[in-house]
Chains A and B, each alone.
Chain A
Amino acid sequence: MPFSPIILWTDTLIYLFVITIFFWVWYVRRNEHLLMPWKRVGHSASGMSALTVLLFFLVVGLLDTVHFRPALEHKNNKGETIYSVEVLSLLDLILTPLRTNIEKTYSAPLATHLYAKETIELPDGEKVRAFARLEFGGAHLRDPEKEHFSDILERIFKGLAYGFLAWFGIAFFLIVFLSRRHQQNFAQSISAIWRRTGEIPWYAILITLLILLLLIGCSAMLATHYHVLGTDKVGQDVLYQSLKSIRIALVIGTLTTLIMLPFALLLGIMAGYFQGWVDDVIQYIYTTLNSIPSVLLIAAAVLMMQVYIETHAELFETVASRADLRLLFLCMILGVTSWTSLCRLLRGEALKLREMEYIQAAHAFGVSHWRIISRHILPNVMHIVLIATVMDFSGLVLAEAVLSYVGVGVDPSMISFGTMINAARLEMAREPMVWWALLAAFGFMFTLVLSANLFADAVQNALDPRTRTLKLSSRFFQRHGKSEVPPNKTPDVMTATGFPHSK
């Protein structure tokens, strides 16, 4: 076999998570009343655009989850294949040029020379202080001064063209698929998308997809011969680092949330619902937990775990599995310490809900406590949970950065947004400043968190049976906006009223 598959701990959890989601989707699709609200999610333009971007991140994250050890070329003396100790992922394989093209040290995005001067020995033995040529970035250019700009432009145009072609292909298949489904001809489908008459905002999705594909096309064309986002201190490509960080961010965001949610939900609702001594005990627990500075608590827990890992080195076959276990423990520790704020929110909400008349009515029917909690209270606090977890998502990624700064974050061999930001701390203080690493980490994180927020917003709106699908804001996006105002309206009176009639 040319490779030996490796399943790390976090990989297992991610696979489980994906399988659960598949089963759940299958279940929802079979139940019309559960499906209806999710169909409404599909009607939100911002939500679907955000989902398109999120899917890109998810695909990158999932590619990075499939781990294996490649076989080495030589065999051992028994004739068995020897596998490398280096654990790679599918993403690494795709990004091989980025992974292997390592420069000496810092170089700016798309540069052909290093960012700092160094002493170069000329062929005639003379030594000069100059910006050295990069080993890989722009190495194909004979005269970088003249060709550099035109080469980049050419590649950008090529990249745009490929991106556009790819988009065109996807759009074509989409339209064919839609025409089949709605039994229209091709032109009708196009006009339906163009006029935005359909329920699903394909228009917005296609625009997002086009932007995404153009960006990917450009980066792909440039990345083969340049470092699109520059290189870091040891010459690693920043674009590669950013893409690798996505998985860590997703793992920390989702796993921590999954670990935190049961605590927060169960304890928060129980405290608010049962009151009395249950409430007292739970409150004492979370106030105590809250009163310890969280960084210290986490640092202590991580250090203990670190000692364990270091004294049991024989447990881990590879560096990657050690780093992975450390990441898993980090998620757990973060989860166990970060449920308090959501728990407090839920306690307050449950306190309010338990007095609602429908819950009194349920008591009058002798419905059991557990059923009241699961059928009446839980669905009515879900919106808080959804908002809080998505907000926490970005907070957790940042917490990871803070912990890496203290030195108790992910394993140093792992690349994460946290370690990137942490490294950028020193780079920002350099003269001239190295700005690209921080910018890259910031840009990727911003996109990820923003799209997660927008999508969660759309989900929350759709899942609440009280919200109407047509909201006030939708009027801004209607092309044939205000033709409905009564015919007897006289514009001069309207302006004279002094009301903001643009509203």
Chain B
Amino acid sequence: MKAVLEIENLATVLHTGSLPVRAVDGLSLNILQGETFALLGESGCGKSMTALSIMRLLPDVGEIVTGQIKIHGVDLLQLPEAAMRKVRGKQISMIFQEPMLSLNPVLTIAEQIGEVLRQHLSLPPAYQQARIQELLEQVGIPDAQRRMHEYPFQFSGGMKQRAMIAMALAGEPELLIADEPTTALDVTIQAQVLDLMRQIQQRTRMSILLITHDLGVVAEMAQRVAVMYAGEIVELAPRADFFQQPAHPYSQQLFASLPGKHKRDQALTVMNGNVPSLSQQFSGCRFADRCNQVMAICRDRVPPWHRFSDDHRVRCHLYQPGTTHAIPAVIAIGEQKVQSEASRTDETLLNVADLSVHFPIRKGLFKRVVGHIKAVDGVSLRIASGKTLALVGESGCGKTTIGKSILQLIQPTAGSVRFKGQELVGLKRSQLKPIRSQFQIIFQDPYSSLNPRMRIKEILQEGMSALKVGAVSGSSNDEYSNVNSREREIDSLLQRVGLPAELKWRYPHEFSGGQRQRIAIARALAVNPKLLICDEPTSALDVSVQAQILNLLKTLQNDLGLAFLFITHNIAVVEYLADEVAVMYLGRIVERGQIDEVMRNPRHPYTQALLSSVPQISADASRQFVPLKGDLPSPATPPVGCHFHPRCEKAMAVCRERYPSASSFSATHSAHCYLYSSEQIS
């Protein structure tokens, strides 16, 4: 088959800082017509820089120092900038990760797509409008004729990404570069967008260069996979080979660090450390420091390519004739069993009943209340001490609001939150203070959750001094010994989360994302809480770092008997960590139960759709995909009756009238759906 894109020995250097950073270092690949080629790797491996090098859209500090990028045999790097403009959008086009940031908010969708058409195809104006409408219909935007004249803010996240794809397709490109196209989207929307990309590819026979860090997406989409590590490709394989028998230790360890159901009672395999800094000179294998099968030779010599077959190549010393390693079937390290049966009682720690949080919508001169956004609308939860309850749902369904209103960071509108039998709702700030230390929160974004102007020591100390934890009340003579014990406390906290104690003198910006998340955990632990609310603590992290954090959380739960309210949209993490699950849709819990009950036998149609939308690595024939139509409705005007009925395939007449009450399947498993309701029959 003909190759559309051939990259030969590409090297891109970024001149930030004192040393040049070799973001891409000697990368070669080719993409055939009509295939989807996935570039897989953690952040900081140079994936996006590869894409920008192909488009020649590098930032000012970037420079391509060597290499060839040929599209149909024409070297793009030799073209003048004017000719390059004819390539971008016409031969190669690109979609970006953040649909919110890649559309211009002051131009309508039609104007933005029209821009591409004018640049590349000289269409008569009348036909141009028709073409824009056709493109938008092609990407599945309903009522395209009207909506094409709307502005980006009137589109939802998934719709914006569809519009981006329509724009990328406008020039009928031969190659589409998709840089993390679904990372910012929910799983249900991700499934829709991935499905759309597959359909379009079948129709137009274009090639796709898919850049992602998500193994699931690769498994669903790609024909061939290249694994990128520290600026170079370390493994190149067809999908089937790659998922059956990953050859490079990095690929193997990536698989091993994925959380999942079958790994519940063991610690995840952890890759130590981070992607190395690309400004250094490498003398051996770049992965050597994190590799679990490292040999002496790895640190001295750069590994050459080893071919298993024409398509499957790997850059590793393991497969060289001189070495006696076979491909290890299972990686044997890091599987020490985590005792999951620590002392767990069934004592109720937190009891939330009919919790509602309504935000008023104000309008007009006098800020009259014209409506409410019902972010949380009558939610009841119960967490036993030492247990993990996972709260699952799409973004915008009110998960985070629940977490914050339990902590009384947001004042609930109605309902009760009882912690160890004590009512929290309605307490004053000063009344809350004595029990504040019992429950703490860990946030999603490790970059905004630590004050950049405070040192780690001060960050950790803040909660302790505010809540007077560990302080000996009384005479001021103890001040000195008190300070001393604080210091020791901080040291041991840092050690507990796996950081050396010397780091307490540093500022947060000197740490990587995973390390910052550890510090955030240490900060919460500083006041000895019984309940930790984890608000998507791993969603901003790479797979390998996510594994480290999950292991840490699990160890902490076992050692300290912590209870977690784990707010997430990542089903794999839920399967790995949670004891119970509550599935949330539009401010209400639609299904709840023990982890096995819900995951094996989801009852509510929304749960079923959510679970089936998660990209799976193991091709499972029995798995059936339940596509979800449309987007999450606005919580300001939730649909009448069952909130889910406009998107539900099994919707009945009664669903449009009243909200269903709970139907129980076992003592713990229940769902709000008329499919199982006795009322419906009567």
Given A380-B451, A470-B18, A496-B77, answer yes or no on A365-B436 (Cβ-Cβ < 8 Å). yes
Question: Once the chains are docked, how many angstroms separate the CA of A370 from the CA of B509?
Answer: 25
Is B357 part of the binding interface, using a Cβ–Cβ cutoff of 8 Å?
A: no
Stretch at the interface among A7-15, A105-113, A131-139, A480-488: A480-488
Summarize A's interface: helix, strand, loop or mixed: loop
Which B residues between 422 and 453 are near A, CB-CB below 8 angstroms? 429, 432-433, 436-437, 439-441, 443-445, 448-453
Is A498 part of the binding interface, using a Cβ–Cβ cutoff of 8 Å?
A: yes
Residue pair A371, B466 in contact (C-beta under 8 Å)? yes
Question: Once the chains are docked, how many angstroms separate the CA of A500 from the CA of B63?
Answer: 8
Residue pair B443, A365 in contact (C-beta under 8 Å)? no
Residue pair B63, A465 in contact (C-beta under 8 Å)? no
Residue pair B61, A472 in contact (C-beta under 8 Å)? yes
Residue pair B467, A366 in contact (C-beta under 8 Å)? yes
Q: Which of A33, A358, A493 meets B455, CB within 8 Å?
A: A33
Which A residues between 356 and 377 are near B, CB-CB below 8 angstroms? 356-358, 360-368, 371, 375-376
Taking CB atoms, residues of chain B closer than 8 Å to A358 are 448-451, 459
Which B residues between 53 and 81 are near A, CB-CB below 8 angstroms? 56, 58, 60-67, 77-81
Which B residues between 1 and 24 are near A, CB-CB below 8 angstroms? 11, 13, 15-20, 22
Closest to B433 in A: A366
Q: Mark B230-265, 1 if CB is under 8 A from A, else 0.
A: 000000000000000000000000000000000000
Residue pair A497, B64 in contact (C-beta under 8 Å)? yes
Closest to B11 in A: A486
Residue pair B467, A365 in contact (C-beta under 8 Å)? yes
Q: Mark A443-462, 1 if CB is under 8 A from B, else 0.
A: 00000000000000000000
Is B407 part of the binding interface, using a Cβ–Cβ cutoff of 8 Å?
A: yes
Question: Once the chains are docked, how many angstroms separate the CA of A362 from the CA of B444?
Answer: 16
Residue pair B466, A465 in contact (C-beta under 8 Å)? no
Q: Which of A380, A493, A497, A503 meets B452, CB within 8 Å?
A: A380
Residue pair A375, B454 in contact (C-beta under 8 Å)? yes
Which B residues between 588 and 627 are near A, CB-CB below 8 angstroms? none
Is B656 part of the binding interface, using a Cβ–Cβ cutoff of 8 Å?
A: no
Question: Once the chains are docked, how many angstroms separate the CA of A250 from the CA of B234?
Answer: 63
Q: Which of B13, B61, B67, B507 meets A485, CB within 8 Å?
A: B13
Given A470-B18, A472-B15, A499-B58, answer yes or no on A363-B452 (Cβ-Cβ < 8 Å). no
Is B639 part of the binding interface, using a Cβ–Cβ cutoff of 8 Å?
A: no
Residue pair A484, B451 in contact (C-beta under 8 Å)? no
Taking CB atoms, residues of chain A closer than 8 Å to B437 are 365
Q: Which of B78, B432, B448, B467 meets A357, CB within 8 Å?
A: B448
Residue pair B527, A465 in contact (C-beta under 8 Å)? no
Taking CB atoms, residues of chain B closer than 8 Å to A465 are 452-453, 507, 509
Q: Which of A33, A360, A486 meets B22, CB within 8 Å?
A: A486
With most chain B CB atoms within 10 A of its CB, the pick from A361, A379, A500 is A361
Taking CB atoms, residues of chain A closer than 8 Å to B448 are 356-358
Is B382 part of the binding interface, using a Cβ–Cβ cutoff of 8 Å?
A: no
Residue pair B56, A497 in contact (C-beta under 8 Å)? yes
Is B299 part of the binding interface, using a Cβ–Cβ cutoff of 8 Å?
A: no
With most chain A CB atoms within 10 A of its CB, the pick from B436, B437, B451 is B451
Closest to B77 in A: A497
Taking CB atoms, residues of chain A closer than 8 Å to B440 are 364-365
Q: Mark B458-495, 1 if CB is under 8 A from A, else 0.
A: 01001100110000000000000000000000000000
Is A104 part of the binding interface, using a Cβ–Cβ cutoff of 8 Å?
A: no
| Residue tally, chain A, CB below 8 Å to B | 40
Residue pair B409, A380 in contact (C-beta under 8 Å)? no
Is B523 part of the binding interface, using a Cβ–Cβ cutoff of 8 Å?
A: yes
Taking CB atoms, residues of chain A closer than 8 Å to B16 are 472
Closest to B457 in A: A33
Residue pair B63, A364 in contact (C-beta under 8 Å)? no
Residue pair A486, B436 in contact (C-beta under 8 Å)? no
Given A33-B505, A484-B19, A493-B65, answer yes or no on A362-B462 (Cβ-Cβ < 8 Å). yes
Q: Mark A319-362, 1 if CB is under 8 A from B, else 0.
A: 00000000000000000000000000000000000001110111
Closest chain A CB from B534 CB (angstroms): 13
Residue pair A500, B436 in contact (C-beta under 8 Å)? no
Is B404 part of the binding interface, using a Cβ–Cβ cutoff of 8 Å?
A: yes
Q: Mark B380-406, 1 if CB is under 8 A from A, else 0.
A: 000000000000000000000000100
Question: Once the chains are docked, how many angstroms separate the CA of A465 from the CA of B62?
Answer: 25
Given A360-B404, A375-B462, A465-B452, answer yes or no on A503-B15 (Cβ-Cβ < 8 Å). yes
Residue pair A357, B20 in contact (C-beta under 8 Å)? no
Given A33-B455, A358-B451, A362-B462, answer yes or no on A485-B523 (Cβ-Cβ < 8 Å). no
Closest chain A CB from B25 CB (angstroms): 8
Is A183 part of the binding interface, using a Cβ–Cβ cutoff of 8 Å?
A: no
Closest to B529 in A: A364
Q: Which of A366, A380, A474, A489 meets B66, CB within 8 Å?
A: A489
Question: Once the chains are docked, how many angstroms separate the CA of A342 from the CA of B65?
Answer: 47
Is A312 part of the binding interface, using a Cβ–Cβ cutoff of 8 Å?
A: no
Question: Once the chains are docked, how many angstroms separate the CA of A448 from the CA of B505?
Answer: 38
Closest to B533 in A: A364
Which B residues between 78 and 134 are near A, CB-CB below 8 angstroms? 78-81, 84
Closest chain A CB from B202 CB (angstroms): 35
Question: Once the chains are docked, how many angstroms separate the CA of A503 from the CA of B11?
Answer: 17
Closest to B67 in A: A493
Q: Which of B61, B441, B462 meets A360, CB within 8 Å?
A: B441
Q: Which of A361, A362, A466 meets B509, CB within 8 Å?
A: A466
Taking CB atoms, residues of chain A closer than 8 Å to B459 are 358
Taking CB atoms, residues of chain B closer than 8 Å to A357 are 443-445, 448-449
Question: Once the chains are docked, how many angstroms separate the CA of A362 from the CA of B65?
Answer: 48
Question: Once the chains are docked, how many angstroms separate the CA of A368 from the CA of B459?
Answer: 15
Given A380-B451, A468-B17, A486-B11, answer yes or no on A363-B409 (Cβ-Cβ < 8 Å). yes
Closest chain B CB from A435 CB (angstroms): 43
Residues of B within 8 A of A (CB): 11, 13, 15-20, 22, 56, 58, 60-67, 77-81, 84, 404, 407, 409, 429, 432-433, 436-437, 439-441, 443-445, 448-455, 459, 462-463, 466-467, 505, 507, 509, 520, 523-524, 527
Sort A-B residue pairs by CB-CB distance and give the 5 closest, nearest first: A365-B463, A357-B449, A379-B453, A465-B507, A366-B433
Q: What are 18 residue pairs bridging A and B, where the CB atoms are less than 8 Å apart in the complex?
A: A361-B443, A364-B407, A366-B467, A368-B466, A371-B466, A376-B454, A380-B451, A465-B509, A485-B13, A493-B65, A493-B67, A497-B56, A498-B56, A499-B56, A499-B58, A499-B62, A503-B60, A503-B63
Besides the contacts A361-B523, A365-B462, A367-B466, what 10 more A-B pairs have beta carbons closer than 8 Å? A357-B444, A360-B404, A361-B524, A379-B451, A472-B17, A485-B65, A488-B65, A493-B77, A497-B64, A498-B56
